[in-house]
Amino acid sequence: MAETLTTGEPLFRCRDARVYVDDKPIVRGVDLEIGRGELHVLMGPNGSGKSTLAAGLAGHPLYRLEGEVWLRGERIDGLTADERARRGLFLGFQYPVAVPGLAVGTFLRAAVEVQRGAAVELRTFRKELVDGLTQLGLPAAFAGRYLNDGFSGGEKKRLELVQLLLLRPAFALLDEIDSGLDVDALKLVAAGIQQAAQQGTAVLLVTHYQRILDHLRPDRVHVFREGAIVRSGDAALAAELDQHGYDWVAAPAAGG
In angstroms, the CA 60 to CA 126 distance is: 31
> What pLDDT does 254 receive?
58
Whether 195 is in a domain gets the answer yes
Q: 177 lies in a domain?
A: yes
Summarize pLDDT for 140-181 with one digit per residue, the tens.
999 999 999 999 999 999 999 999 999 999 999 999 999 888
Q: Is residue 188 part of a domain?
A: yes
* Average per-residue pLDDT for the chain: 92
Residue 105 domain-assigned (yes or no) = yes
Q: Domain for residue 256, yes or no?
A: no
239: exposed, middle or buried (Cβ count in 10 Å: 0-12, 13-18, 19+): middle
- CA 249/CA 241 separation, integer angstroms: 8
pLDDT in tens, 30-82: 999 999 999 999 999 889 999 999 999 999 999 999 999 999 999 999 999 99
| Mean pLDDT of all residues in 224-252 | 88
Cα dihedral 105→106→108→109 (10° resolution)? 100
Q: What pLDDT band is residue 246 in, cutting at 50, 70 and 90? A: confident
Residue 198, in any domain of the structure: yes
d(CA 129, CA 123): 10
Where on the phi/psi map is residue 60: left (φ > 0), alpha (ψ -120 to 50), or beta? beta
pLDDT tens digits, residue range 96-107? 999 999 999 999
Total structural domains within the chain: 1
pLDDT mean over 202-221: 92
Q: How far apart are CA 46 and CA 29, in angstroms?
A: 19
Containing domain of residue 192, as a range?
12-248
Residues contacting 136, CB < 8 A, separation 6+:
158, 159, 161, 162, 188, 189, 192
| Residue 247: predicted pLDDT | 85
Kindly report the CATH number assigned to the domain that includes residue 159.
3.40.50.300
Determine the Cα–Cα distance for residues 58 and 76; give it in Å rounded to an integer. Answer: 10
Residues with Cβ < 8 Å from 115, sequence gap 6 or more? 86, 88, 167, 168, 169
SS3 58: helix
Alpha-carbon gap, residue 3 to 245, rounded angstroms = 40
In a domain, 124, yes or no: yes
Mean pLDDT for the stretch of residues 11-40? 96
Sign of CA dihedral 76, 203, 25, 228: negative
Q: Is 134 helix (H, G, I), strand (E, B) or coil?
A: helix
The residue-averaged pLDDT of 204-217 equals: 90
Q: Which residue has the higher pLDDT, 58 or 255?
A: 58
Q: What is the pLDDT of residue 256?
A: 47
